[in-house]
Every structure is written in C-alpha cells, then in structure tokens.
Amino acid sequence: MTIPMPAPSFADAAPAKRLERAATALTAHGFTVEILEDAAAARTRVKDLIPEGAGVFTGASETLRLSGIDEDINTSGRYEAIKPRVLALDRATQRDEIRRLLAGPDVVVGSVAAVTETGSLVVASGSGGQLPAYSGGAARAIWIVGAQKVVPDLSTALRRVEDHCLPLESARTQAVHGWPSAVNRLLVLNAEPYPGRGTVLLLREAIGF
C-alpha cells in the first residue's frame, strides 16, 4: 500500500528544480527572470534596474516592506516616488489624479500571490490600485517573489490565494486599518508581449505572504 505524501505547505520555499522550471516557463512567455539568493540580493538588484529619477510606484507588498525595497524607493530621494504623492492627496476630491498617477508610472515594483511552474503570475487585490500598472500601464514592471509562492499550476495558485494569502492579508489589514481584506480583483499574467518590460526576481528564500 502506498501512503500518499502530504501536500507541501504554501509557506515552504520551493526547491531549486521547481524554481528553475518556473523561471524557464516564464522566460518562454516573454518575462525576464533572474533567480537570486535572497531578499538582500533583490534589494541590490532593484537599485541597478531602476534609473535614478524615474517615476516609481510600489504596490502594497509584505515582500517589499520586509526586504526594505519599499523604504528604499519611497524615502531615498533617488526616484520620483509615487506612493508618497498619492498618500498626500485627498481621496474624495482628487480621485482622478490618484488614478492617473497609479495607472501609468515609469516603473511599478511589487510582488505576486503565486507563480506557476507553467509560467503565469497571479496577483490578488482588494482595491485593484496596482493592477493597471502591473497589467500594462507601467513602462516597466518588476516583481520580487519569494520561493514559497511557486506552485505547480493555476488551480493551485488560486487555492494559495484563498487558503493562504487572504487570511494573512486580512489579519494585516484588520490590525492596520480596522477591516478585513478580500479578493475583489484577480489578475493573471500569462505572458509579457513586450520584451524587456516585465522582470521577475525569483528568490531562493521565502519572504512575504
């Protein structure tokens, strides 16, 4: 009798072979992919990838916060950081300006909820604020992705969103804002049609949700 192996936790870092399969599939779909050792390496690489003075929007991301990338971009003075500008605007009376700033930056930097070994990126969002830039509005997109986010296929990616990411993000938003999160919008990027636009920095370590 064969005893089935337990399914790996969505918090466990995927082994090297699975990262390599995901990287190969993403590359075949038009993404630029680099496998890096850890978040510190990604932090250095992001500085190399973004020219000084570029207009940069950072999507809400625990990966960016924990790695220090969010702080580097929004407080260093090296870039035209969009998030601080947006936070200074009135959401009731300046909504159109906020929408325009978020939709078309020079560079958007963020993370994703899952990467499939078949070469897709899956992004879940409560507000959808980062999705226009991710999907094509930004001239360039950079995603930093922990190894625990690599999953075999799209159905597993969607399960990871609901079973793993949503409870953790809801706990975070409840603590910070006083309300739970929700998967109100879901973006699946199956390919990047513009060479050089989308870069995935795939880490060997687990970080973020």
- Residue 107 domain-assigned? yes
| 79 — pLDDT class (breaks 50, 70, 90) | very high
Instruction: Tell me which amino acid residue 103 is.
Output: A
- Residue 140 domain-assigned? yes
Between CA 20 and CA 35 the distance in angstroms is 8
Torsion of CA 171, 159, 67, 39, to 10 degrees: 160
- Residue 10 domain-assigned? no
- Residue 65 domain-assigned? yes
Reply yes or no on whether the pLDDT at 5 is more than 60.
no
Q: What is the CATH number of the domain that holds 67?
A: 3.40.50.10420
pTM: 0.93
- Residue 5 domain-assigned? no
- Residue 111 domain-assigned? yes
User: What's the pLDDT score for residue 152?
Assistant: 98
Nearest Cα neighbor of 163 from 119, 107, 114 is 114
- Mean pLDDT over all residues of the chain? 94
- As for how many domains the chain has, the answer is 1
- Residue 120 domain-assigned? yes
| 8 — pLDDT class (breaks 50, 70, 90) | low
Residue span of the structural domain in which 198 resides: 16-203
